Each structure stands twice: as structure tokens, then as C-alpha cells.
Amino acid sequence: MISYQNLQSVRWRRKPIWMPTAKSKLYRIPVKPVIPEEEKEEIKRLYNNYRTYIKSIRRFLTYKHSVLLMAKSDTEQLKKAFDEDFMRCKEINDKWNEDLKKLREERVAKQLQEEIEFAKNRMANLIKQKEQKLAEAEEIVRKEKQMVGTFITPENLDEVIEKALSNPVDYNFAIDLEGNRIIGRETKPEEQVSVKQ
């Protein structure tokens, strides 16, 4: 809703702006004002001076009256507010730090324990592996020791050759229809007749 109480009607003297140029003024050419050079210079000088004055006055008034500047420049108040805020923040921060310290210490202790355990396990494993390897090596040595008696040496070389020659080994074999192995190249099957049936 618009309240009409505050409206003041103004009677204008001009014709409205959307009306066309009057016929009597249609071909009128307005005369350009001619300002002499000296006057121009003088006006320029005056304006420069005036602007400088206004600038300085404005600055003076700003320092004296500006609300924003005052709020900014009240350093004591600002410092106090800053300190209060800082102390509040510090308290919160200290509390957080304490909580975190507890958690951290717990975590570190736990981690240390875990690491110690891990190291112990590793040591035990290493010892176990070593023992195993030693046992394997001993087994090998033991076997070798057993084998020592059957070794061929230059002393018993002739003897062994003699033995090998006197005991020829035939690895050939054949398989009959029942799947029996018949060892030897020259051996004949004993029950030829039964097979034939």
C-alpha cells in the first residue's frame, strides 16, 4: 500500500520532455560561448586551488567526525577486545591440547608395546629358522657320512670295475597282456601255453 500522506504535488513550469521541439525554435542554432584564454587559465587555477582546499577540509573533517575511522582508531578498545578474544581462544586451545596429549600418550605407549612384541616375534622366528637350517645341514652331513663307505676311490677302483663287469645289470623289460613285467632282454616267459588259450 502506498501512503499518500507524504506526497507533495509540484507544479512544473516546463513542458514535458516527450513533447517535440517548438516550431519557432526548430532552426535555432545556439551560440557557443567564447571564453578568452586568460579567463580560461584563471578558471583553471581557481578550480585547482578550490579542489586542494576542499580536499584538505574534507580530510580534517574526516579525522574529526568519521564514525568508521573512530571505530578503527580506538586502539585501546581494540587491543582489549583482541586480548579478550585471544585469551578465550587460548583456553579452548589449551583444553584441546590436553585432551590430545592424553590420547597421544596412550597411542604412543600402545605403539611401543606393539613394536617390542613385533621385534620379539621376529627374533624368535629368526632363531627358529637358524635352528631349522642347522638341522637340515646336520641331516645332510649325516647322510653323507653314511655314504662315505660306498665311495669309489683310486685304491678300490679296480675292484669296483671288476665287480661291475661281473654283475651286468639288464634294465630292459617287456609287458605281457596281463600287465606283468618281464625283466631282461633275453628272458623267456615261463607259461607261454596258458597265454595262447
Partner 1 sequence: MLSPSSGIGRFSTKSAKVIRFVRKGCTNRPFFHIVVAERRREQFEPVIEQLGSYDPLPNENNEKLVSLNLERIRFWMGNGALVSKPVEQLLGLAGFLPIHPTSYMVAWRNRKAAEKEAEKKESDANSAS
DSSP β-bridge partners for residue 173? 183
CA distance 145 to 139: 10
CA distance 119 to 113: 10
| 66 binds partner 1 per the rule CB under 8 A | yes
The count of chain residues that interact with partner 1, using the rule CB under 8 A, is 24
Which triple of cell numbers denotes residue 82?
A: 583482541
CA distance 152 to 164: 12
Which C-beta is closer to partner 1: that of 1 or that of 68? 68
| 113 binds partner 1 per the rule CB under 8 A | no
| 5 binds partner 1 per the rule CB under 8 A | yes
| 13 binds partner 1 per the rule CB under 8 A | yes
47, 40 Cβ separation under 8 angstroms: no
| 71 binds partner 1 per the rule CB under 8 A | no
| 46 binds partner 1 per the rule CB under 8 A | yes
Q: Which residues of this protein are in contact with partner 1, per CB under 8 A? A: 3, 5-6, 8, 10-11, 13, 43, 46-47, 49-50, 53-54, 57-58, 61-68
